[in-house]
Amino acid sequence: MKNESSGITNNFPYWSISYAERFPMQKTKTKVIEGNCNPVWNDELTLTMKDPKAPIHIAMYDKDMFSNDDSMGMAEIDLW
């Protein structure tokens, strides 16, 4: 969302975290930080892992009200 007076674009970012050792995939997400281009999260999220060698998938999205959320980036993290 663009602020017309300043020309700055505001984002509504959140993180999606998933773990897919096998189906069904576990997934959780952070809260949405409204109108902030430099968000800070202090959320605590929990996923139950049976195989510590399986990677965690994280993705950041920009929440949209009237269309699909925009992908802002993603990564896969090996914990082992």
What pLDDT is recorded for position 23? 63
What's residue 6's pLDDT? 47
- For residue 18, CA distances in Å to 21, 33, 37, 58 come to 10, 19, 24, 6
What digits encode the pLDDT tens for the residues 6-39? 455 688 999 999 987 666 778 899 999 998 888 9
Domains of the chain: 13-77 (2.60.40.150)
